[in-house]
Amino acid sequence: MGNLFQYFCGALLGWGLGANDSANVFGTAVSSRMVSYRIAVILTAFFVLLGALLQGEPGIVTLSQDLSSNPGPKAAQIAILISVSAAITMAGMTLLSLPGSCSQAVVGAIIGLGMMRQDVNFGGFAKVLVCWLGTPIGGAAFTFIFYYASKFILGKWRPTVFTYDPAMSLLLILSGCYGAYALGANNVANVAAIFVGSGIMSVKQAALFGGLAIAAGGESYSKPVMMTVGKGIVKLDSFTAFICVLSEAAAVHIYAMVGVPVSTTQAIVGAVLGIGLIKGVHTVNYRMLGQVSLGWLATPFVAGGLAALGYFLANLHYQP
Protein backbone atom coordinates (compact mmCIF):
# COMPACT_ATOMS: atom_id res chain seq x y z
CA MET A 1 0.00 0.00 0.00
CA GLY A 2 2.86 2.35 0.86
CA ASN A 3 4.53 1.82 -2.51
CA LEU A 4 1.25 2.49 -4.31
CA PHE A 5 0.93 5.83 -2.54
CA GLN A 6 4.51 6.73 -3.47
CA TYR A 7 3.83 5.98 -7.12
CA PHE A 8 0.60 7.97 -6.96
CA CYS A 9 2.48 11.00 -5.62
CA GLY A 10 5.08 10.72 -8.38
CA ALA A 11 2.37 10.34 -11.01
CA LEU A 12 0.61 13.41 -9.61
CA LEU A 13 3.80 15.44 -10.00
CA GLY A 14 4.31 14.16 -13.54
CA TRP A 15 0.71 15.02 -14.40
CA GLY A 16 1.16 18.56 -13.07
CA LEU A 17 4.39 18.98 -15.03
CA GLY A 18 2.82 17.69 -18.23
CA ALA A 19 -0.32 19.80 -17.84
CA ASN A 20 1.75 22.94 -17.34
CA ASP A 21 4.93 22.46 -19.37
CA SER A 22 3.38 20.80 -22.44
CA ALA A 23 2.04 24.25 -23.24
CA ASN A 24 5.59 25.35 -23.84
CA VAL A 25 6.10 23.17 -26.91
CA PHE A 26 2.83 23.66 -28.81
CA GLY A 27 1.25 26.68 -27.09
CA THR A 28 2.42 29.17 -29.68
CA ALA A 29 1.31 26.91 -32.56
CA VAL A 30 -2.15 26.29 -31.08
CA SER A 31 -2.74 29.93 -30.14
CA SER A 32 -1.78 31.03 -33.66
CA ARG A 33 -4.30 28.45 -35.01
CA MET A 34 -1.76 26.74 -37.20
CA VAL A 35 -2.05 23.41 -35.34
CA SER A 36 -5.17 21.98 -33.69
CA TYR A 37 -5.13 21.36 -29.94
CA ARG A 38 -6.00 17.66 -30.33
CA ILE A 39 -3.11 16.99 -32.74
CA ALA A 40 -0.78 18.98 -30.48
CA VAL A 41 -1.49 16.95 -27.33
CA ILE A 42 -1.24 13.59 -29.14
CA LEU A 43 2.15 14.48 -30.65
CA THR A 44 3.32 15.92 -27.34
CA ALA A 45 2.48 12.73 -25.42
CA PHE A 46 4.33 10.52 -27.90
CA PHE A 47 7.50 12.58 -28.19
CA VAL A 48 7.67 13.37 -24.45
CA LEU A 49 7.77 9.65 -23.74
CA LEU A 50 10.32 9.08 -26.50
CA GLY A 51 12.62 11.81 -25.15
CA ALA A 52 12.34 10.47 -21.60
CA LEU A 53 13.30 6.97 -22.65
CA LEU A 54 16.11 7.87 -25.04
CA GLN A 55 17.82 10.80 -23.31
CA GLY A 56 16.28 11.20 -19.87
CA GLU A 57 18.88 9.27 -17.88
CA PRO A 58 21.62 11.98 -17.52
CA GLY A 59 19.24 14.43 -15.88
CA ILE A 60 17.84 11.74 -13.57
CA VAL A 61 21.34 10.85 -12.42
CA THR A 62 22.30 14.51 -11.83
CA LEU A 63 19.22 15.42 -9.81
CA SER A 64 19.13 12.16 -7.85
CA GLN A 65 22.63 12.91 -6.58
CA ASP A 66 21.33 16.12 -5.02
CA LEU A 67 19.32 14.01 -2.60
CA SER A 68 21.02 12.71 0.51
CA SER A 69 23.49 10.00 -0.38
CA ASN A 70 22.18 7.98 2.54
CA PRO A 71 18.46 8.72 3.05
CA GLY A 72 18.08 5.73 5.39
CA PRO A 73 14.70 4.42 6.51
CA LYS A 74 12.93 7.68 5.58
CA ALA A 75 13.54 7.22 1.83
CA ALA A 76 9.87 6.62 1.07
CA GLN A 77 8.80 9.59 3.19
CA ILE A 78 11.28 11.87 1.40
CA ALA A 79 10.09 10.79 -2.04
CA ILE A 80 6.46 11.35 -1.09
CA LEU A 81 7.06 14.78 0.45
CA ILE A 82 9.04 16.03 -2.56
CA SER A 83 6.46 14.73 -5.02
CA VAL A 84 3.47 16.12 -3.13
CA SER A 85 5.06 19.53 -2.44
CA ALA A 86 6.14 20.03 -6.05
CA ALA A 87 2.85 18.67 -7.40
CA ILE A 88 0.74 21.03 -5.27
CA THR A 89 2.89 23.96 -6.36
CA MET A 90 2.61 23.06 -10.06
CA ALA A 91 -1.13 22.38 -9.78
CA GLY A 92 -1.62 25.85 -8.31
CA MET A 93 0.29 27.47 -11.17
CA THR A 94 -1.69 25.45 -13.73
CA LEU A 95 -5.06 26.37 -12.19
CA LEU A 96 -3.99 30.02 -12.37
CA SER A 97 -3.21 29.45 -16.08
CA LEU A 98 0.39 30.50 -15.47
CA PRO A 99 3.45 28.69 -16.80
CA GLY A 100 5.46 27.34 -13.88
CA SER A 101 8.83 25.70 -13.43
CA CYS A 102 8.74 22.11 -12.24
CA SER A 103 12.53 22.14 -12.00
CA GLN A 104 12.34 24.92 -9.46
CA ALA A 105 9.50 23.21 -7.58
CA VAL A 106 11.39 19.93 -7.24
CA VAL A 107 14.71 21.52 -6.33
CA GLY A 108 12.98 23.87 -3.89
CA ALA A 109 11.33 20.89 -2.20
CA ILE A 110 14.65 19.04 -2.01
CA ILE A 111 16.34 22.07 -0.41
CA GLY A 112 13.45 22.55 2.01
CA LEU A 113 13.74 18.94 3.16
CA GLY A 114 17.52 19.11 3.24
CA MET A 115 17.43 22.13 5.52
CA MET A 116 15.04 20.37 7.89
CA ARG A 117 17.31 17.31 7.92
CA GLN A 118 20.48 19.45 7.98
CA ASP A 119 21.71 17.59 4.91
CA VAL A 120 21.86 19.84 1.84
CA ASN A 121 24.32 19.27 -0.99
CA PHE A 122 24.75 22.93 -1.96
CA GLY A 123 27.68 22.11 -4.23
CA GLY A 124 25.42 20.05 -6.47
CA PHE A 125 22.88 22.87 -6.69
CA ALA A 126 25.38 25.47 -7.94
CA LYS A 127 25.38 23.89 -11.41
CA VAL A 128 21.58 23.82 -11.43
CA LEU A 129 21.24 27.46 -10.36
CA VAL A 130 23.64 28.67 -13.06
CA CYS A 131 21.63 26.80 -15.67
CA TRP A 132 18.39 28.29 -14.34
CA LEU A 133 19.77 31.75 -15.02
CA GLY A 134 21.07 30.73 -18.42
CA THR A 135 17.86 29.10 -19.67
CA PRO A 136 15.77 32.20 -20.57
CA ILE A 137 18.88 33.94 -21.88
CA GLY A 138 19.60 30.91 -24.07
CA GLY A 139 16.01 30.88 -25.35
CA ALA A 140 16.26 34.56 -26.29
CA ALA A 141 19.69 34.12 -27.89
CA PHE A 142 18.49 31.24 -30.08
CA THR A 143 15.50 33.37 -31.08
CA PHE A 144 17.75 36.06 -32.53
CA ILE A 145 19.84 33.45 -34.37
CA PHE A 146 16.92 31.48 -35.82
CA TYR A 147 14.83 34.58 -36.61
CA TYR A 148 17.39 36.31 -38.78
CA ALA A 149 18.63 33.06 -40.35
CA SER A 150 15.05 32.12 -41.30
CA LYS A 151 14.33 35.61 -42.60
CA PHE A 152 17.37 35.30 -44.86
CA ILE A 153 16.15 31.93 -46.17
CA LEU A 154 12.63 33.26 -46.79
CA GLY A 155 14.09 36.23 -48.64
CA LYS A 156 15.89 33.87 -51.00
CA TRP A 157 12.95 31.47 -51.34
CA ARG A 158 10.12 34.05 -51.70
CA PRO A 159 7.20 31.61 -51.15
CA THR A 160 3.69 32.34 -52.39
CA VAL A 161 0.72 32.49 -50.03
CA PHE A 162 -0.27 29.00 -51.21
CA THR A 163 3.03 27.48 -50.11
CA TYR A 164 3.82 29.67 -47.10
CA ASP A 165 0.99 28.62 -44.77
CA PRO A 166 1.35 24.84 -45.34
CA ALA A 167 5.12 25.18 -44.90
CA MET A 168 4.66 27.07 -41.62
CA SER A 169 2.18 24.46 -40.34
CA LEU A 170 4.66 21.69 -41.11
CA LEU A 171 7.52 23.56 -39.47
CA LEU A 172 5.42 24.24 -36.37
CA ILE A 173 4.56 20.55 -36.08
CA LEU A 174 8.19 19.47 -36.54
CA SER A 175 9.52 22.04 -34.06
CA GLY A 176 6.75 21.13 -31.61
CA CYS A 177 7.68 17.46 -31.82
CA TYR A 178 11.31 18.40 -31.20
CA GLY A 179 10.24 20.55 -28.26
CA ALA A 180 8.20 17.70 -26.77
CA TYR A 181 11.17 15.36 -27.16
CA ALA A 182 13.42 17.85 -25.39
CA LEU A 183 10.80 18.30 -22.66
CA GLY A 184 10.74 14.57 -21.97
CA ALA A 185 14.51 14.21 -22.12
CA ASN A 186 15.14 17.10 -19.76
CA ASN A 187 12.20 17.22 -17.36
CA VAL A 188 11.61 13.53 -16.67
CA ALA A 189 14.31 13.96 -14.00
CA ASN A 190 12.03 16.34 -12.10
CA VAL A 191 9.45 13.59 -11.72
CA ALA A 192 11.57 10.49 -11.33
CA ALA A 193 14.96 11.44 -9.84
CA ILE A 194 13.57 11.41 -6.31
CA PHE A 195 12.75 7.72 -6.65
CA VAL A 196 16.23 6.89 -7.91
CA GLY A 197 17.86 9.00 -5.21
CA SER A 198 15.78 7.21 -2.59
CA GLY A 199 16.57 3.76 -4.00
CA ILE A 200 12.97 2.99 -4.96
CA MET A 201 13.46 2.71 -8.76
CA SER A 202 16.25 2.08 -11.23
CA VAL A 203 17.12 4.85 -13.68
CA LYS A 204 15.41 3.11 -16.62
CA GLN A 205 12.26 2.37 -14.61
CA ALA A 206 12.16 6.00 -13.48
CA ALA A 207 12.50 7.27 -17.06
CA LEU A 208 9.53 5.16 -18.21
CA PHE A 209 7.39 6.05 -15.20
CA GLY A 210 8.12 9.77 -15.46
CA GLY A 211 7.63 9.88 -19.22
CA LEU A 212 4.19 8.26 -18.98
CA ALA A 213 3.11 10.61 -16.19
CA ILE A 214 4.19 13.75 -18.08
CA ALA A 215 2.49 12.52 -21.24
CA ALA A 216 -0.77 11.96 -19.34
CA GLY A 217 -0.71 15.51 -17.98
CA GLY A 218 -0.13 17.03 -21.38
CA GLU A 219 -2.91 14.92 -22.88
CA SER A 220 -5.54 15.83 -20.30
CA TYR A 221 -5.15 19.46 -19.16
CA SER A 222 -2.72 21.74 -20.95
CA LYS A 223 -4.88 24.16 -22.92
CA PRO A 224 -5.24 27.03 -20.35
CA VAL A 225 -1.49 27.52 -20.02
CA MET A 226 -1.09 27.15 -23.80
CA MET A 227 -3.16 30.28 -24.28
CA THR A 228 -1.10 32.22 -21.73
CA VAL A 229 2.18 31.23 -23.36
CA GLY A 230 0.95 31.78 -26.90
CA LYS A 231 -0.90 35.07 -26.48
CA GLY A 232 -0.25 36.49 -23.04
CA ILE A 233 3.25 37.93 -23.39
CA VAL A 234 3.65 38.78 -27.07
CA LYS A 235 1.16 38.19 -29.89
CA LEU A 236 2.69 35.75 -32.35
CA ASP A 237 2.04 34.89 -35.98
CA SER A 238 2.89 31.51 -37.48
CA PHE A 239 6.48 32.45 -38.34
CA THR A 240 7.39 33.88 -34.94
CA ALA A 241 5.59 30.97 -33.24
CA PHE A 242 7.84 28.55 -35.12
CA ILE A 243 10.95 30.51 -34.13
CA CYS A 244 9.95 30.48 -30.46
CA VAL A 245 9.30 26.74 -30.28
CA LEU A 246 12.50 25.92 -32.14
CA SER A 247 14.52 28.21 -29.85
CA GLU A 248 12.99 26.75 -26.68
CA ALA A 249 13.60 23.19 -27.88
CA ALA A 250 17.23 23.87 -28.78
CA ALA A 251 17.98 25.51 -25.42
CA VAL A 252 16.33 22.75 -23.37
CA HIS A 253 17.88 19.95 -25.44
CA ILE A 254 21.37 21.29 -24.78
CA TYR A 255 20.75 21.13 -21.03
CA ALA A 256 19.32 17.63 -21.39
CA MET A 257 22.58 16.49 -22.97
CA VAL A 258 24.54 18.21 -20.19
CA GLY A 259 22.40 16.37 -17.65
CA VAL A 260 20.80 19.38 -15.91
CA PRO A 261 17.00 19.57 -15.69
CA VAL A 262 15.87 23.13 -16.46
CA SER A 263 12.59 24.92 -17.00
CA THR A 264 10.98 24.72 -20.43
CA THR A 265 8.81 27.58 -19.20
CA GLN A 266 11.83 29.83 -18.76
CA ALA A 267 13.14 28.78 -22.18
CA ILE A 268 9.91 29.52 -24.05
CA VAL A 269 9.29 32.79 -22.21
CA GLY A 270 12.86 33.83 -22.99
CA ALA A 271 12.22 32.98 -26.64
CA VAL A 272 8.92 34.88 -26.72
CA LEU A 273 10.55 37.86 -25.05
CA GLY A 274 13.29 37.68 -27.69
CA ILE A 275 10.61 38.11 -30.35
CA GLY A 276 9.29 41.08 -28.41
CA LEU A 277 12.71 42.67 -28.43
CA ILE A 278 13.05 42.09 -32.18
CA LYS A 279 9.60 43.52 -32.98
CA GLY A 280 9.87 46.33 -30.43
CA VAL A 281 9.57 46.46 -26.67
CA HIS A 282 6.13 48.10 -27.02
CA THR A 283 4.74 44.71 -28.14
CA VAL A 284 5.57 43.06 -24.78
CA ASN A 285 2.77 42.63 -22.22
CA TYR A 286 4.79 43.63 -19.17
CA ARG A 287 1.95 42.89 -16.77
CA MET A 288 1.80 39.26 -17.87
CA LEU A 289 5.60 39.04 -17.96
CA GLY A 290 5.67 40.30 -14.37
CA GLN A 291 3.13 37.68 -13.27
CA VAL A 292 5.17 34.91 -14.88
CA SER A 293 8.38 36.20 -13.31
CA LEU A 294 6.72 36.36 -9.90
CA GLY A 295 5.68 32.74 -10.36
CA TRP A 296 9.28 31.78 -11.07
CA LEU A 297 10.46 33.48 -7.90
CA ALA A 298 7.68 32.04 -5.74
CA THR A 299 7.79 28.45 -7.02
CA PRO A 300 10.92 27.14 -5.23
CA PHE A 301 10.04 28.92 -1.99
CA VAL A 302 6.47 27.61 -1.95
CA ALA A 303 7.56 24.06 -2.74
CA GLY A 304 10.39 24.25 -0.21
CA GLY A 305 8.07 25.58 2.47
CA LEU A 306 5.48 22.87 1.82
CA ALA A 307 8.16 20.15 1.95
CA ALA A 308 9.62 21.51 5.18
CA LEU A 309 6.18 21.78 6.77
CA GLY A 310 5.27 18.26 5.67
CA TYR A 311 8.51 16.87 7.09
CA PHE A 312 7.93 18.68 10.39
CA LEU A 313 4.39 17.37 10.72
CA ALA A 314 5.32 13.84 9.67
CA ASN A 315 8.03 13.65 12.34
CA LEU A 316 6.14 15.09 15.28
CA HIS A 317 6.24 12.80 18.31
CA TYR A 318 3.78 12.91 21.18
CA GLN A 319 5.47 13.13 24.56
CA PRO A 320 3.07 12.86 27.53
pLDDT digits (tens, 9 = 90+) for 174-209: 988 998 998 899 888 888 887 887 777 888 888 999
Q: Is residue 167 part of a domain?
A: yes
Q: Is residue 61 part of a domain?
A: yes
Number of structural domains found in the chain: 1
* The predicted structure's pLDDT at residue 265: 77
Q: Is residue 172 part of a domain?
A: yes
Low-confidence ranges of the chain (pLDDT < 70): 1-3, 66-76, 120-125, 225-233, 317-320
Whole-number Å distance between alpha carbons of 271 and 136: 7
Nearest to 185 by CA among 245, 252, 125: 252
Whole-number Å distance between alpha carbons of 282 and 83: 40
Residue 79's domain spans which residues?
2-314
Whole-prediction pTM value?
Answer: 0.79
Whole-number Å distance between alpha carbons of 137 and 269: 10
Q: Is residue 112 part of a domain?
A: yes
* The predicted structure's pLDDT at residue 141: 95
Q: Is residue 131 part of a domain?
A: yes
* Residue pair 189/60 in contact by the 8 Å Cβ criterion: yes
* The predicted structure's pLDDT at residue 20: 79
Q: Is residue 320 part of a domain?
A: no
Q: Is residue 197 part of a domain?
A: yes
Q: Is residue 319 part of a domain?
A: no
